[in-house]
Amino acid sequence: MLPSDEPHHHDPVVVTALRKTYSSVDAVRDITFTVRRGQITGLLGPNGAGKTTTLRSMLGLSKPTAGTALIEGRPFTTHRHPVRVVGAVLDASGAAPGHSAIEHLRTYAPLAGADDARIQTLLAEVDLTKAARLRVGKFSLGMKQRLAIATALLGDPKILILDEPGNGLDPQGMAWLRRFLRSYADGGGTVLVSSHLLTELEQVVDHVVLIASGVVIHEGTLAALLDSAPAGSAGRATLESAFLNLIEQTETHR
């Protein structure tokens, strides 16, 4: 690990030994990772690995059985204005189908302290200016995803947490999402994005947290991971080949 890659107490998100048990089933067993400021971190792993459970615990939507999740130094729910600290999208289909995009944003704006000018800026940022008065029921999945992101950004948070934002997006939607996340991070924002779509995320993440069966099997920069992994069939390591290789190693050492 490079010195600059070591966790610091002032990192925006620090998750330590998180565990969540439902009756007798461990949804997550032992999750520890750090999200760095100004970077895009991918929380990556197969279906059922524990990504959603981890994010819900971090946001106070689910009470962890053990462990802690600190956002800017304290539990998310203890912040005075949580929506100004973190913008989160766990489910992009939350908007009422009868509302237009602008009506939807106006419903949530007071909570976030956003005015109409902020709504217009956000609509432009997520490419929905032209669709602002269209009913959400007529939106494509990509448009719903972009509206959900705009809603999360109403309070101008510096941390963005997205659960599987690539789900159901076409290549164009995916390219838009990557550009958007990169520009948010370049502006000093911090992104945590979960996904099981390793190939789609490989092009945009700086830092990776790989989870499988409720435990972190690797954390580090994407560059270091690809450097250390054996070359795949494409002649070079990919995030997917590195992940499969790590899973194999974890299983043989179990």
Ligand X SMILES: Nc1ncnc2c1ncn2[C@@H]1O[C@H](COP(=O)(O)OP(=O)(O)OP(=O)(O)O)[C@@H](O)[C@H]1O
CB of 23 to ligand X, least distance (A): 7
| Three-class secondary structure of residue 39 per DSSP | coil
Amino acid letter, residue 182:
R
Binding residue for ligand X (CB under 6 A) from 14, 15, 33, 52? 52
User: Cα–Cα distances in Å, from 230 out to 91, 180, 212, 243?
Assistant: 36, 31, 20, 11
Is 120 or 250 the residue whose CB approaches ligand X more closely?
A: 250
Interaction of residue 196 with ligand X, rule CB under 6 A: yes
Does residue 22 belong to the site contacting ligand X (CB under 6 A)?
A: yes
Question: By CB neighbour count within 10 A (0-12 exposed, 13-18 middle, 19+ buried), where does 236 fall?
Answer: exposed
Q: Per the structure block, which two tokens stand in for 119?
A: 């709504």
Q: What minimum distance in Å lies between the beta carbon of 154 and ligand X? A: 25
Q: Which of 12, 42, 45, 142 is in the footprint of ligand X by CB under 6 A?
A: 45
CB of 215 to ligand X, least distance (A): 12
Our finding on whether 41 is near ligand X (CB under 6 A) is no
27 binds ligand X (CB under 6 A): yes
Q: Is 75 exposed, middle or buried (0-12, 13-18, 19+ CB in 10 A)?
A: middle
Chain positions contacting ligand X, by CB under 6 A = 22, 25, 27, 45, 47-53, 196
